[in-house]
Structure 1
Amino acid sequence: MAEESAPISRTRLRLWWAAVALTALPLALGMAATLLGAPDRFGFASVATKVCQGWQAEMRLASEPAWAVLKGVPVVVVGPAFAGWVLSRRRGLHRAAAWIGWTAPAFLAVIALTEPALVAFDGVQDCLDAWGPMLGFSLWPLYYLLPAGCAVAALRGSRRRPRRRRALGAVIMTAVLLAAMTADRGAERPISEPDACANAPSASPVATETPAQAIARLPRPRRELAFLCAARGSSLTSPGGLRPAHQEGRSDQDLLAMGRRVCDALGRTAPGDQATASLLTTVAQEWTGGEDVTRTAAYLCPDAAARWSPRLGRSARQEAEEAARYQTRMNAACARPRLAGAPTRQATTALFVGEGGGYYASDGEPTAGDPFNAAIGDGLISAAGNTAAIMTEIEDGPVCLTVAAYRHRPPLMLRGWDRVAEVGVDSPHGGLRVTTMEEMPRLPILASTGPGPYRLRVYVRDREKAERSVSDLPVERHLIVVFPGRSTKTTVYRNAER
């Protein structure tokens, strides 16, 4: 039978609202940081060297999706507890209201104290090094003691013993549920054995689909298998197949728990956050020896990983369109220089050079060794057989390149150029063209008269200016002139860079 209804004081309602608001505050701040950006936070991370009992319990706990949701969004418990308490009180169900209400502070206390208690346990056992980069993230739940205190204050009543029994009962029930979640579930079945990884699923997006969307299409067990194989250093896409596993001592559940911790950090912080970036760097060394952790974690949390790795959120078509826009903008900064004579073929482009800089003019694979090192020693150019290597001052950026093919030797132009040199290069198949280590740009074939020997003359300027420039537009200028010629000697016509 319902007890007589009693009015709820404004003070209690205000305390409850404060508890709900404080519980929701971390989630709201995280969403605001995502939408508006936030100042970077600095953190320290170290590589974990051993696994201790507290850490093992934390890994098992973190591997439970229910715990990840309840810990990440505790307002889903506190909010309904507040609503249930109010409704029960207004209907005169005071005992039910008490049981429902005390669920909130008991739950918040467990959320606040579980990880710090595990950290303290390992601290007593001198095992804090096992937590490594996760240590700082494991102490922030203590914040939830503040809304728990507001809820306790709102629930105070005149009858102390029943309230204490109800609080104790709520804590015991919550602890029993957590114990069931973290209990040893028997021997873990390894699913990332080499045979399993040899047939591991990979996400193959269609042209209009992003990698994150393709990953999300995979069933959860297949995504977890793909994650484990990637985290252990298995290549799911390379022709070489399986690579040696990294950190063999980690169990599948440990790796999955670490992956979910990384996903939690990716989801809570804005891209560029220093603490999360430090965590990613450290975990990368443990997972795959330094490879991209975000792409590996994407198998567990594709949406959160896509926030930190924009390429995961772009389809192949979007990538191509973005590359085309970038190329158009770079090309607009490259004016075609004055050419001597009448070339049979010519083109100007912004050529992107990768790490180390430089590019090639070749006709197939090198037949007389790679002249790249010799070009580095020369500072500009070297040739051997069917390949010439040309060095740039910049690396990982664009240079303006004009190529021109002639049937006969064109006049020499020195004015306006800092350095001019000429080498001999063979074109046995008549396919001499400019290439880089990363791509084959859309430039014409430079063997104007078909297979045979050619002379390649390179003009460069503004290399020192490019080294000082902070613009993303190309500054360094190159002109490649190719014409038939049998000489193989190197001729330097001008070098104003000395």
Structure 2
Amino acid sequence: MRHYRFGMIAALFALGHLAFVGVLGALALTTDHGRPLWTVVARDPFFLGDEDAFSVPWGLTVAVLLVGAVQAWALWQVLRGRARGEPAHRGGRVGLLRLALYLQVGFGIALFASVPLIVAAEAYWFWTATEIITGLLQAAVVWLFFLVLRGVVSRGLRLFSLVAGLLACASGLGQSITGVLGLDTAVFTLAGGYGYVWQAWSVSILVAQARDSRWSAATVRIGVVAQVMTFLKPGGSMGISTGVFPWAFAVHTLIGAVSVFGLVWVARTAHELANPLPQPVPRRRPARAAARWWPVAAVAVVLPLVPAAVNLTHGMYLWIGPRGAIENVVRVEGGGTPALTWFSLDVFVGVGGPALLLLVTVLRRTRRLVRFTTVTLTVAAVVAFVSALTTTPVPAVSGDFFYEGVQIYPEGLFTRERDGELFFGVSPSWYGAALLASALLLLVLYPAAPAQRVRRHVVLAVTVTLLALGFAPVADQSLGPVTAAEDCAPYEPWRGEPRKPELTSDQRFVCSYRQAGLVTFADTTPDAVILAHGRRLCGVYTRNDPQEVARLQTVEGLRRDALTYPLAQICPGADAVVQAAAAEQELEDQEWEDDAQRMCDSTPRHRPLIRAAKAIRIKEPQWTDYGAVETYEPTEDEADPFEDGVLDEAQRNGLVAALPGHLMVLTHPDYDLCVTLETYTRRPPVETKGWDHVVEVGYRSPTGEIVLRDDLSGTGFPDLSLNGRAGHYRIRVHYDWFRWKGKNDYGQRLLIMAFPGKGDKPVTYRARRKQ
């Protein structure tokens, strides 16, 4: 701390931030008040929504505390100032550049610290104003870097950085100003290359700093990390809208919170401009390892091309595609620059691009390049393995494949084969195996120096061992049959699907246990694991030990009574409870049905005043699912019965309406219905006595089949037509709503008369009384 001008002050700020975050972390771990910790560290109040009590999972709380520690380190780096001693006098341009950089740091800290205040005061204009001021400052920084780097790097690199930096600044300022004016234009976005132009300027400055003795190697490395974090950092935030914790959004928010390396790089760049000039160190040419075993080197170069060649022969050029958790997070919740960058890497690795990097490494063989290549290949292999392990199968249904999120893949790239399956390319694990094998071959061909070999070999051995153990199945996770979600779906012949084989009792339990949602299993979890878990819970359920049940609810969050139905198929104790409940429900249903039958039997029989051609008294009580029975007959104009307005017309008179080919009668959906149907050869006398509502309408039957039904409940009445006669009918509907003393508090009685007759005009003989 004494080595820097403001070291003590910076240490106090950093330690204060760290202590404050630690206190809030302890509060979040012991209570449900995680909002203060999240607001202070993540600086994203939108994520929390409007909930007062916000519980952060303990694992995420630990991650937030680590992010807070990184922020404290950033405060120390930014506030400590330059090194003590007489500052180097390097001209007014260097002073102006330091001033502009410090102003940038000040604006960055102010913006970082004021997020909650801006949201609370709804002063969002402050962000736009800050963006405009920062853009002007950045333009000045670009110009001053162009001047300060004169004589240090080539003119071509300086001109490139000047053009790229000014173009990026103009793009950013244009977007901010057009946003204030409410103009919607993509010109400035295209000019800025979606952020890639600014990345190009940053990389050019890092290259210049690496060649300038005024800046340390640590500053350059921090700048590189800052550029990597820029690619990973998502745009925007998302609030909680469901009961499921949004892990993807939480991770993205924390990536944004830990993206302080750019601020540290700017501050260190300004600090070190005033440091005393270091002693010149003669540049050494990088040592090159001797060429060894060229067939092995050739194998290392060719390995990444093998899965790429298989993919390309099938017309696929992607490494991963829309598969796996990492790709899903980048595409669905990320978007913008991260999604485009991911797609570029996906194509680069998919066509065998790593082979170019390996070829350059084998030809040059410098230690730094070998280290960079092996680390890059290892990281890519880990991404491939994670993507392969988190890939979920796509159901084989008809239609084009559609994926959520940013549409970064070309339309029509993923087509279904004849068997209905989608081809995304070979599994990413093949790419991972090839990349990891190439990295190991590089380490064997070009080992580190003897002084560094032991420590690094230990790290490599431990890493490889852990990786191998991670993919080896353990005893209670042995491989076996897996019942997929599509296997649990019921057979639906109307979809044209082939008949599925009958599920075994174990498979039926697995399906019901997964669908219950009490315990979440991965889609690739073997059935044996789920069965073992269910049998363990069956033991807890059967013993019904109070302490064991309490521990189950405390540790696993499972209540004993919630396990009854999910465990019934494999647990006799739970099955007995289910059977008893089913028997009780069946007895209650039977009593209800018997009461409804007695109700219909007690209603008076209708005695026609003239001889009916056909009279049917339906013995069993009827019911409707949505309060209507209707008939559909095809017509010449092929009218849509759901759009012809018959329902609206029936609701106007409250009972019946008709159009050619469509007849509807309304009832109450919650009470049983006693039905009588009568068909006459001529018009019967009007009867209203004993009925609450009587309406007659005209109906034209195109086919001579008038069958009223309710498809949802399965209710269907006998044919009302006169011996299959097509043509014009008059339909008279009698409705009675009456009190019944039984389980059915009320009942309905319906008498429908049909007879030949012309005329479409509806006639109400008795209006419905108020019930």
- What TM-score comes out, normalization by structure 1 length? 0.42
Q: Which has the higher contact order (CA 8 A, sep 6+)?
A: 1
More strand by percentage = 1
Larger radius of gyration: 2
Higher helix share goes to which structure? Answer: 2
